[in-house]
Chains A and B, each alone.
Chain A
Amino acid sequence: MALNLKILPQSSFGLAGYWGLQESVTIPFYNYESNASNYFDIKDWGVSLQYGAEFSGSVNSSLYLLAMAKKLGNHSLSARFTPGYQKEFLFATGESIIINDTTTQSLEANYNYRELFGLGYSYKFDEQFSAGLAVRFYSQDFNREIVKPIYGDTLYLVRESINEKVNLLNADVGINYIVNKNFQLRAASINLFNIEDEITNEEFLGFEMDQKRGALLTASYMPADFFNFHILYETSNSFQLSATGYAEGITYGLTAFHDYYQEPYIAGVVPAVGYRTDLFEVLLSGVKYFSERSTDASFSKFYEEGINNIINNRYSFDKIVLSMALNISSAPEKQVELIDVEIVRDIYPTFYDKYVEQPFAYGRVVNISNKPVSVIPSVKIEGITDDQIQSPPLNLAPGDTAKVPFYLIIPDNYVIDKAVLSYADFYVTASSNEPDAQLQKAALINSINSWDGNVANLRYFIKRDIDFSMNYAKNVLGNNKAVLDTLPSVISIFYKSEILFNDFVKKLVYTSDPRATAEYVQFPKQTNELKGGDCDDLSVAYSSLLESVGIQTALVDYKGDGDIRHVNVLVNTKLSPSQAKFITNNDSKYFIRKNEQGKDEIWIPIETTSLTNFDEAWNIGVEKFNREALIEMGLATGKVEIIDVY
């Protein structure tokens, strides 16, 4: 029988015409025929169907296509079911049998070529360049009656049907290049990869679909939304010319196609008109052939020339096709954009609640929607937080740009021994659960012993090890219970301070920071274990011990000049000025501060680096405080600062 019949899988023809890479209409992009690159413009999920009627004398309605598409970031996936993409041929096989000497019966055959389903994938490399592939699955159903001689005792002829299903898998690739807003290009293969079952029955040899390789090239010139011009050329010397447009929701297009395998030169046109919103799209198109069509045709012509396309060939009929698409996006449209983020503070994990009050980063956010939005900034830092930490919302008018703060909460049990470079993911979210935009920045996370040099932040070191300090202090004070019980309660704080100093600080040695380039502060437990520390470590440890038993302390920051800084401790004796005589007759040995109720209280400066005894540390502390804070007016000039621990 026939060999090398030119029956080809789909080439570029689509039932809705050709629309280029236009974003104003979605439906045609589910047609892999001209879109092997699987290019489409949906935000999340898309569903599309094409239903139509074919006018062959009678009217045959068909569901041509049912497609689904999903966008995952830069990846686009689609699948389509094409029950209406089929063409059936019925014919006499040329063989006939004479039954009972007189009756002649002709044998018949029907060959049905179908595209069953397809899958598409594409990747968007950037705004200009994307590439993808489409895989389509075809079935060729051959049914044919034959006469078969059967010989038993006698010879007789039987009429029987033979059939064979031949599957074909076809894959093509395509690339899209958007040169600019007005000019776009596309290239795709035709029948690049083919895997076909081998025909086992010789009766059907030569009737299988041909897999002649080719390519298509397209160019689109789009000077304005309401008018675009496209040209598509296939290497088989077929081409399509189309003009499309979009204005106020109305889409319209007209495609004229020249098919190398059909007459006349312009074989037909595909007019289309539709309406589109963000949610749905409807497109009514028609296929009008300029040559006469009939349900009867010459077998010899079919035998000699075959068909080059299942849905568009010389045996196809005029059609009207209704296409519908639904954008069932679960992701709302992007409303805000995060332009940039600046990290303004390094992250010191010990300052666990500092970044709740002071943003560690600021971002620039722009409202790209046409309505006011409420923007919620949030941040997530790898290694610190499992969830996004939200900052207060901010209202933005359409088109406005604002600076938004990013706050951070560090878990108080977070431990990190060495500084690491991590990544902070910054998000801005408007009116839904999914972020509209995000940016990633490198962020330095210091160790828990790192300190930024700001004395005020030593309070975090004092508070963090408070359990150790409490146990230690209570144990020491318990050992001195006999002494403390004999003292008037009014001076118990003073004596507790003295006992704790003499027990703890006195046995330590002064050592400078172990790290030359970064401030390093020990927690009280570490200072106890290491038996020493510098002024920061000793002040932190002593303050922590006192605070753990309810003795109010403050840190005195002697800022000095240049790099020379010092810190020691003020202890609130809770004595009134009139009670100062219980601890000293020298009124220069204490400093009076008002409490929250406005009452004066006696505070005494203790130099924690004086590792002799409490009286000596008091004297040195007083001498330094009086000189630098009072006489040299350090408190007034800001060179000396008193920082309450709580």
Chain B
Amino acid sequence: MKKLLTYLFISVSVFILVSCDKPAPTQLIDDTTDEFEVELLNKDLEGEYYSSGADTSGITQDITGITNLISVSGIKITTENRTSIFSLAQAMFFDKSKPIRYSNGRLLAYKTIIPGTIKFNGTEAHIVPYRIRFREGGIPKDTLVGGKYLLYNISYGIPDPFYFEYNSNVSFEFDPFLPGGNISFNILTPHEINGIVSLTGNKSNKNLEANLSWNGMGEKRVFVIIGLLRPGQLQSIPVYKMKTPDDGELKIPNRYLNQLPLDRFEKIVFTFVRSYEAYHENGNNDLLVSSQSIHSIVIDIP
């Protein structure tokens, strides 16, 4: 009897061992504000950076998917405790029947058209040539795609008396050359964004640590663009675009900075962007309206 029970016990144990799985796992739903999305903006850190010119934050943007664009921005650039303030408004309208292609046939952009006059906050925008610069086969090139509407204010209404108001509206008016009704609407502007960067460690030890903070509004998301500046250069090369909740803080995982060839660069630029973007309700979803508060902080890489 004892032997029988022993064999039975062993048999049951073996059966259990081979038949069982492990306890059910628990899937944790991320309801924190720690998340962020990272996008690599530029693979080539060696050459000159070429922009589509469509985005005032200084980042590259694929404009092939955009039919028409109206953009207003309030821009601040902080360098060594000095902050410069700019306002900018621009608009561009593309003719989808006139594509511009790379030599291999890949779509680069579309030709633009000038369909009428445009005013921002009652000031008529200038029509300026619209060039996009790109790199093909390692060779820098640029091409004229047409004209675009532009207003910018560098200081006290110079050259244009366009003033970007935060948490307010920018009025937009369009008067077409062809017969038809005028179009006007207000563009909602976001709250001003004020960033602070704490950059510790040093590049030689590859232990740079960046803790970012800003005046979080707790709604939607902000972008943080990280760019690099070579010695003597004015235009940064954007490297990463990180999207994170507008909660006022972000610790950049150290690996993102320390894996870069920082010894070839002098400065690092953290650009905070709080933006509103929406397609204008004209029934066609072909007019993207964007307003942005941008704060770029330029820091020497320790």
| A120 contacts chain B at the CB level, 8 A cutoff | no
| A280 contacts chain B at the CB level, 8 A cutoff | yes
Given contacts A95-B36, A98-B37, A157-B38, contact A90 B28 (CB under 8 A): yes
Kindly report which residue of chain A lies nearest to residue B251, judged by CB atoms.
A1
Contact of B253 among A84, A146, A297 (CB under 8 A): A146
Kindly report which residue of chain B lies nearest to residue A313, judged by CB atoms.
B26
Min distance, Cβ B273 to any Cβ of chain A, angstroms = 16
Q: How far is the CA of A95 from the CA of B242 in the complex (A)?
A: 10
B-chain residues with CB within 8 Å of residue A72 when the two chains form the complex: none
Enumerate 8 A-B pairs (CB-CB under 8 Å) in ascending A order.
A60-B24, A98-B37, A149-B255, A149-B260, A297-B26, A297-B28, A302-B28, A315-B26
Q: Does the CB pair B261–A89 fall under 8 Å?
A: no
Kindly report which residue of chain B lies nearest to residue A330, judged by CB atoms.
B2
B-chain residues with CB within 8 Å of residue A97 when the two chains form the complex: 37-39
| B104 contacts chain A at the CB level, 8 A cutoff | no
Min distance, Cβ A62 to any Cβ of chain B, angstroms = 5
Kindly report which residue of chain B lies nearest to residue A85, judged by CB atoms.
B23
| A49 contacts chain B at the CB level, 8 A cutoff | yes
Task: Give residues of chain A (113-161) contacting chain B, Cβ–Cβ below 8 Å.
Answer: 146-151, 153-157
Q: How far is the CA of A51 from the CA of B23 in the complex (A)?
A: 11
| A58 contacts chain B at the CB level, 8 A cutoff | yes
Kindly report which residue of chain B lies nearest to residue A154, judged by CB atoms.
B43
Q: Mark A64-104, 1 if CB is under 8 A from B, else 0.
A: 00100000000000000001101111111111111001001
| A56 contacts chain B at the CB level, 8 A cutoff | yes
Q: How far is the CA of A420 from the CA of B253 in the complex (A)?
A: 82
Q: Does the CB pair A147–B13 fall under 8 Å?
A: no
Task: Give residues of chain B (37-67) contacting chain A, Cβ–Cβ below 8 Å.
Answer: 37-40, 42-46, 62
B-chain residues with CB within 8 Å of residue A299 when the two chains form the complex: 28-32
Min distance, Cβ A275 to any Cβ of chain B, angstroms = 13
Min distance, Cβ A542 to any Cβ of chain B, angstroms = 65
Contact of B34 among A88, A94, A155, A328 (CB under 8 A): A94
Given contacts A155-B239, A326-B6, contact A86 B23 (CB under 8 A): yes
Given contacts A91-B30, A92-B35, A94-B34, contact A60 B22 (CB under 8 A): yes
A-chain residues with CB within 8 Å of residue B27 when the two chains form the complex: 89-91, 295-297
Give how many B residues have a beta carbon under 8 Å from the other chain's beta carbons.
Answer: 44
B-chain residues with CB within 8 Å of residue A96 when the two chains form the complex: 35-38
Min distance, Cβ B62 to any Cβ of chain A, angstroms = 6
Q: Does the CB pair A326–B22 fall under 8 Å?
A: no
B-chain residues with CB within 8 Å of residue A110 when the two chains form the complex: 25
Mark A residues whose CB is within 8 Å of B.
Answer: 1, 47, 49, 51, 54, 56-58, 60-63, 66, 83-84, 86-98, 101, 104, 110, 146-151, 153-157, 202, 279-280, 295-300, 302-303, 315, 317, 324, 326, 328
Given contacts A87-B26, A328-B2, contact A60 B21 (CB under 8 A): yes
Q: How far is the CA of A631 from the CA of B9 in the complex (A)?
A: 86
A-chain residues with CB within 8 Å of residue B42 when the two chains form the complex: 155
Q: Does the CB pair B17–A63 fall under 8 Å?
A: yes
Q: Does the CB pair A326–B5 fall under 8 Å?
A: yes
Given contacts A63-B17, A149-B255, contact A88 B25 (CB under 8 A): yes
**Which among A56, A155, A279 has the greatest number of chain B C-beta atoms within 10 A?**
A155
Q: How far is the CA of A150 from the CA of B45 in the complex (A)?
A: 12
Q: Does the CB pair A54–B28 fall under 8 Å?
A: no
| B234 contacts chain A at the CB level, 8 A cutoff | no
A-chain residues with CB within 8 Å of residue B239 when the two chains form the complex: 155
Q: Does the CB pair B45–A154 fall under 8 Å?
A: yes
Q: Does the CB pair A280–B253 fall under 8 Å?
A: no
Q: How far is the CA of A117 from the CA of B28 in the complex (A)?
A: 27
The 6 closest A-B pairs by CB, nearest first: A94-B35, A56-B24, A91-B28, A88-B25, A98-B39, A149-B259
| B158 contacts chain A at the CB level, 8 A cutoff | no
Beyond known contacts A98-B40, A101-B62, A151-B261: 7 more, CB 8 A cutoff: A49-B16, A92-B35, A94-B34, A94-B36, A96-B35, A295-B27, A328-B6
Min distance, Cβ B207 to any Cβ of chain A, angstroms = 11
Min distance, Cβ A13 to any Cβ of chain B, angstroms = 14
Q: How far is the CA of A93 from the CA of B44 in the complex (A)?
A: 28
Describe A's contact surface by its main secondary structure: strand
A-chain residues with CB within 8 Å of residue B31 when the two chains form the complex: 298-300
Q: Does the CB pair A149–B26 fall under 8 Å?
A: no
Contact of A95 among B13, B21, B35 (CB under 8 A): B35
Min distance, Cβ B54 to any Cβ of chain A, angstroms = 14
B-chain residues with CB within 8 Å of residue A86 when the two chains form the complex: 22-23
Q: Does the CB pair B20–A51 fall under 8 Å?
A: yes
A-chain residues with CB within 8 Å of residue B9 when the two chains form the complex: 47, 280, 324, 326
B-chain residues with CB within 8 Å of residue A296 when the two chains form the complex: 26-29
**Which among B9, B25, B35 has the greatest number of chain A C-beta atoms within 10 A?**
B25
Min distance, Cβ A280 to any Cβ of chain B, angstroms = 6
Mark B residues whose CB is within 8 Å of A.
Answer: 1-2, 5-6, 9, 12-13, 16-17, 19-32, 34-40, 42-46, 62, 239, 253-256, 259-261
Q: Does the CB pair A49–B37 fall under 8 Å?
A: no
Contact of B26 among A49, A89, A95, A98 (CB under 8 A): A89
Q: Does the CB pair B38–A279 fall under 8 Å?
A: no
A-chain residues with CB within 8 Å of residue B256 when the two chains form the complex: 147, 149
**Which among B23, B255, B261 has the greatest number of chain A C-beta atoms within 10 A?**
B23
B-chain residues with CB within 8 Å of residue A92 when the two chains form the complex: 28, 30, 35
Q: How far is the CA of A534 from the CA of B42 in the complex (A)?
A: 122
Min distance, Cβ A202 to any Cβ of chain B, angstroms = 8
Q: Does the CB pair B44–A154 fall under 8 Å?
A: yes
Min distance, Cβ B47 to any Cβ of chain A, angstroms = 10
Q: Does the CB pair B6–A89 fall under 8 Å?
A: no
B-chain residues with CB within 8 Å of residue A84 when the two chains form the complex: 20, 22-23
Contact of B23 among A60, A91, A94, A151 (CB under 8 A): A60
A-chain residues with CB within 8 Å of residue B20 when the two chains form the complex: 51, 61-63, 83-84
A-chain residues with CB within 8 Å of residue B13 when the two chains form the complex: 49, 66
Q: Does the CB pair B259–A148 fall under 8 Å?
A: yes
**Which among B19, B32, B260 has the greatest number of chain A C-beta atoms within 10 A?**
B32
Given contacts A89-B26, A149-B260, A324-B9, contact A155 B45 (CB under 8 A): yes
Q: Does the CB pair B40–A157 fall under 8 Å?
A: yes
Q: How far is the CA of A57 from the CA of B21 in the complex (A)?
A: 15
Contact of B25 among A90, A93, A98 (CB under 8 A): A90
Q: How far is the CA of A341 from the CA of B256 in the complex (A)?
A: 84
Min distance, Cβ B163 to any Cβ of chain A, angstroms = 34
Q: How far is the CA of A317 from the CA of B26 in the complex (A)?
A: 10
Q: Does the CB pair A94–B43 fall under 8 Å?
A: no
Kindly report which residue of chain A lies nearest to residue B2, judged by CB atoms.
A279
Min distance, Cβ A468 to any Cβ of chain B, angstroms = 59
Q: How far is the CA of A56 from the CA of B22 in the complex (A)?
A: 12
A-chain residues with CB within 8 Å of residue B40 when the two chains form the complex: 98, 149, 155-157
A-chain residues with CB within 8 Å of residue B254 when the two chains form the complex: 202
Kindly report which residue of chain B lies nearest to residue A96, judged by CB atoms.
B37
B-chain residues with CB within 8 Å of residue A156 when the two chains form the complex: 40, 43
Q: How far is the CA of A283 from the CA of B12 in the complex (A)?
A: 15
A-chain residues with CB within 8 Å of residue B12 when the two chains form the complex: 49, 324
Q: How far is the CA of A328 from the CA of B253 in the complex (A)?
A: 57
Kindly report which residue of chain B lies nearest to residue A50, judged by CB atoms.
B16
Min distance, Cβ A110 to any Cβ of chain B, angstroms = 7
B-chain residues with CB within 8 Å of residue A101 when the two chains form the complex: 39, 62
Q: Does the CB pair B255–A104 fall under 8 Å?
A: no
**Which among A47, A51, A150 has the greatest number of chain B C-beta atoms within 10 A?**
A51
Q: Does the CB pair B255–A146 fall under 8 Å?
A: yes
Q: How far is the CA of A472 from the CA of B240 in the complex (A)?
A: 118
Q: Does the CB pair B24–A317 fall under 8 Å?
A: yes
Q: How far is the CA of A61 from the CA of B37 in the complex (A)?
A: 38
Q: How far is the CA of A51 from the CA of B15 in the complex (A)?
A: 11
Q: Does the CB pair B259–A89 fall under 8 Å?
A: no
Q: How far is the CA of A91 from the CA of B31 in the complex (A)?
A: 11
Min distance, Cβ A407 to any Cβ of chain B, angstroms = 35
Q: How far is the CA of A56 from the CA of B24 in the complex (A)?
A: 7
Q: How far is the CA of A150 from the CA of B34 in the complex (A)?
A: 24
Q: Does the CB pair A300–B37 fall under 8 Å?
A: no
Min distance, Cβ B89 to any Cβ of chain A, angstroms = 26
Q: How far is the CA of A54 from the CA of B20 in the complex (A)?
A: 11
